[in-house]
Amino acid sequence: MANVSIIPSGDFKTSYGTDTTIFPTTTSRNFAILGVILLLACPAFMDRFWLNMLIQIGYLGIAALGLNILVGFTGQISIGHSAFFGFGAFASAWLNNRWGVPVALAIPLAGVVTTGVGLLFGMPAARLKGLYLAIATLAAQYILQDFFARADWFTGGTNGTIAEALTIFGFSFDTDERYFYVVLVAMVVMYILATNLMRTRDGRALVAVRDHYLSAEIMGINLTKYRTMSFGISAFYAGIGGALYAHYLQFVSVEGFTILFSIQFLGMIIIGGLGSIMGTLMGTAFMVFLPEAMQALTKLVSGTAIDTALNLKDNIAFLREMSIGLVIILFLVFEPDGLAHRWKQIKAYWKLYPFSH
Amino acid sequence: MTLFLQLLVNGVIVGALYGVVAMSFVLIYKASRIVNFAQGEFLLIGAWTCWWLLTSWHLPFWIGFPITLVFMLVFGVILQVVVLRPMIGEPIISVIMVTIGLSIVFQAAMKWMFGVFAKPFPPIFASPTTNLFGLEVQTVYVVSLGISILIMAGFGWFFKYSRTGLAMRATAFDQQVAQSLGISVRRMFAMSWAISAMVSAVAGVTVGVVNGVSSALSIFGIKVFPAVILGGLDSVIGAVLGGLIVGVLENVAQYVDSQWLNWGNMYEIAPFYVLIAILMIKPYGLFGTKDIERV
């Protein structure tokens, strides 16, 4: 699934090194670098709305990548990702407020703390798989959500907690334009880390566990170790994403981290493509723009008969919720490999155009 | 002590309802190996349909209720044929996500159509409470307990003695063998969804009559998980027992909490702690079939 790409005939890989490069071709690498450079220029000409969207894609994309490592690469299902995301957000704010840890340090530390929590809840993961694990993580979601509501010392209870803006050497990243770079750097680093992880022995072990765990075990892969590790990595990414979210909004409320949010994360990776790193980003972008698209759609039909019949204006929240569910179902039925797969097909089509056979 | 007894009785009554929902959940799982995360929404849809028939069309309960059941039957079949049938043979994550997606869609649609606030059913029974062994219990609860037992007995009879029930058991046991014996596996799948939706709707209406109908009903779909895991995912008896235990446990946890611990919210959360504990100790539950894998 992950490595289907059209390679021109005669292009043989002669060493493992060339077969496992980060980017399959030089062109794709150059395009990726170009993309990052273009993004660097974004704050100069984009307005706040688009910057906000891009920042959201950034921190949600990091968390979603963690989930994709767990679900897409290791084949373990988690329905409690938003709880870990929330835990990271609270942990970072708490480390900063209570212990005076500078924010720049609190964000990675929050990731580490969340990893600990992830490993704790990942302990059942060592024994369970598939369905049973899904149900265990569902329980984790509810337990953590309850913990957020109750632990006043950690989350501020119903009042929520304030997270200070990120400041490095007296330079405060408190506007969208400035914070954009923080998220961009974090995202690039985390995505490169994930890509590299998949090139290592450990990454291949994860994929082996997904593809056929019995064969993997026979080949000497320690199932317990890799399942738990994958859970930890996923929690780490969620924690980093959550911490970035906290210091972006500078306020964390206990209500946000519901099961619907967890399902949105799952939606992102399914839409993007399970087991695809770039797909994760596409799926996240899709999920972030979906509510806006619904809003735009509502605006488009406002005043018409459809609008009055369905009373769209008051029910836009439900429309958004419904669209999330519908998109997930439609993708699973019609495009189970996600946007990444579609993108590859489009690329392949143009590569061979007009002689596709 | 009276409070404790009262809680216990409440627990058994609510637990019986959990048992019924868990049973219909297990039915789907056994027949088609699909974990239905939208089970709670079946309750919701059934309850709203019945409520709508009763309030907007002013039908008496004994007409409105059967219409609801027929509607749920058709609904279950359509759902299986249109959405779930294409998912046969897909990986487990896809199937789970489809049912989760369904649950989101239904929940949002129900909120859209009927609003977010709880709406009471028109009164059905003459006296709201009855005396049961010296305890004041709502009439609806007693009736619901009766209905639950009736459904369970019905299930027992259906699977043990009826031809279709036998065919469904055969399908659950081995699809290929069942098919070679002339059983239409597709029909059995559709039927299991239909029955499951119908039975859930009965539970939904019962809860709706007691507490009013609101989207909070769908929490039953989540509470079902501790029950079925406790009983074993593919055991009908386990589901009933698990439901009862979870129902009682909730109320006992709340009692303990209000008396000594004062943590709050134990009623909602206690089952999930139990769920994790069971998964750690005995993942296949009390009566579930152990998955033995051979290479």
Search chain A and give the residue with CA nearest B85.
A333
Range scoring the smallest mean pLDDT among A179-183, A286-290, B180-184, B281-285: B281-285
DSSP for A185-208, written as a single string: HHHHHHHHHHHHHHHSHHHHHHHH
Nearest-Cα distance to chain B for A332, in Å, is 6
- Model confidence pLDDT, tens digit, residues B221-256: 888 889 998 888 888 888 889 999 999 988 888 888
Q: Is B257 on the interface with A (CB under 8 A)?
A: no
CB contact under 8 A, A132 and B275: no
Residue B271: cis peptide before it, omega within 30 degrees of 0: no
**What is the arithmetic mean of pLDDT over B162-183?**
87
Nearest-Cα distance to chain A for B233, in Å, is 9
> Is A2 domain-assigned?
no
In CATH, what number is assigned to the domain containing residue A203? 1.10.3470
CB contact under 8 A, A139 and B283: no
B83 → closest Cβ in A315, A321, A329 = A329
> Is A8 domain-assigned?
no
* d(C-alpha B178, C-alpha A178), whole Å: 65
Residue B84, pLDDT > 80, answer yes
- Model confidence pLDDT, tens digit, residues A27-69: 888 888 898 888 888 888 888 888 999 999 999 999 999 999 9
CB contact under 8 A, B111 and A124: no
Q: Is A1 on the interface with B (CB under 8 A)?
A: no
Q: Is A306 on the interface with B (CB under 8 A)?
A: no
Residue A304, pLDDT > 70, answer yes
- Model confidence pLDDT, tens digit, residues A247-296: 998 888 888 898 889 999 999 999 998 888 889 999 999 999 998 888 88
**What is the arithmetic mean of pLDDT over A210-230?**
89
Backbone φ and ψ of A171, nearest 5° = -95, 115
For residue B134, what pLDDT is reported? 67
**What is the arithmetic mean of pLDDT over A132-146?**
88
Range scoring the smallest mean pLDDT among A317-326, B6-15, B131-140: B131-140
pTM: 0.89
> Is A269 domain-assigned?
yes
Residue A4, pLDDT > 60, answer no
CB contact under 8 A, B83 and A138: no
For residue A1, what pLDDT is reported? 37
> Is A203 domain-assigned?
yes
**What is the arithmetic mean of pLDDT over B114-119?**
83
Nearest-Cα distance to chain B for A101, in Å, is 30
- Counted across chains A and B, CB pairs separated by less than 8 A come out at 121
For residue A336, what pLDDT is reported? 85
For residue A265, what pLDDT is reported? 93
* Predicted confidence band of residue A70 (pLDDT cuts 50, 70, 90): very high
**What is the arithmetic mean of pLDDT over A158-176?**
81
Q: Is B269 on the interface with A (CB under 8 A)?
A: yes
Judge residue A314's burial from the number of C-beta atoms within 10 Å of its C-beta, 0-12 exposed, 13-18 middle, 19 or more buried: exposed
A132 → closest Cβ in B105, B283, B295 = B283
Q: How many domains does chain A have?
A: 1
By residue range, what is the domain housing residue A233?
Answer: 46-352
CB contact under 8 A, A333 and B86: yes
Q: Write down the number of H helices and E strands in chain A.
A: 16, 4
Cβ-contact B29, B185 below 8 angstroms: no
Residue B41, pLDDT > 50, answer yes
Tokens 């307005």 belong to which residue? A47
A322 → closest Cβ in B109, B233, B293 = B109
Judge residue B120's burial from the number of C-beta atoms within 10 Å of its C-beta, 0-12 exposed, 13-18 middle, 19 or more buried: middle
**What is the arithmetic mean of pLDDT over A209-218?**
89
For residue A237, what pLDDT is reported? 95
For residue B282, what pLDDT is reported? 80
Residue A90, pLDDT > 90, answer yes
* d(C-alpha B207, C-alpha B203), whole Å: 6
Q: Is A318 on the interface with B (CB under 8 A)?
A: yes
CB contact under 8 A, A131 and B92: yes
Q: Is A328 on the interface with B (CB under 8 A)?
A: yes
Residue type present at position A214: L
* d(C-alpha A209, C-alpha A73), whole Å: 8
> Is A41 domain-assigned?
no
Could you tell me if residue B285 is left (phi over 0), alpha (psi between -120 and 50 degrees) or otherwise beta?
left
Nearest-Cα distance to chain B for A279, in Å, is 17
For residue A3, what pLDDT is reported? 44
> Is A14 domain-assigned?
no
Q: Enumerate the residues of chain B whose CB falls inside 8 A of the CB of residue A260.
A: 104
Nearest-Cα distance to chain A for B68, in Å, is 24
CB contact under 8 A, A139 and B275: yes
DSSP for B121-171, written as a single string: PPP-SSSSEEEETTEEEEHHHHHHHHHHHHHHHHHHHHHHH-HHHHHHHHH
> In Å, how far are A216, A218, A220 from A212, measured between CA atoms?
6, 10, 13
A143 → closest Cβ in B104, B264, B269 = B269
CB contact under 8 A, A322 and B112: yes
**What is the arithmetic mean of pLDDT over A184-210?**
91
A329 → closest Cβ in B98, B222, B263 = B98
B104 → closest Cβ in A138, A214, A263 = A263
Residue A161, classed as helix, strand or coil, is strand
Nearest-Cα distance to chain B for A318, in Å, is 5
Residue A9, pLDDT > 70, answer no
Tokens 């920042």 belong to which residue? A55
* Predicted confidence band of residue B71 (pLDDT cuts 50, 70, 90): very high
Per DSSP, helices labelled H in A46-99 are 48-68, 81-99
Q: Is B113 on the interface with A (CB under 8 A)?
A: no
Residue B92, pLDDT > 70, answer yes
Which H or E run contains A171? strand A171-173
Q: Is A105 on the interface with B (CB under 8 A)?
A: no
> Is A201 domain-assigned?
yes
**What is the arithmetic mean of pLDDT over A114-135?**
82
Q: Is B117 on the interface with A (CB under 8 A)?
A: no
| Between A22 and A115, residue with greater pLDDT | A115
CB contact under 8 A, A146 and B293: no
Q: Is A117 on the interface with B (CB under 8 A)?
A: no
Nearest-Cα distance to chain B for A154, in Å, is 16
Q: Where are the domains of chain B?
A: 17-218
Interface residue of B97, B114, B234 to substitute, partner A, most A CBs within 10 Å: B97
Backbone φ and ψ of B135, nearest 5° = -115, 140
Q: Is B293 on the interface with A (CB under 8 A)?
A: yes
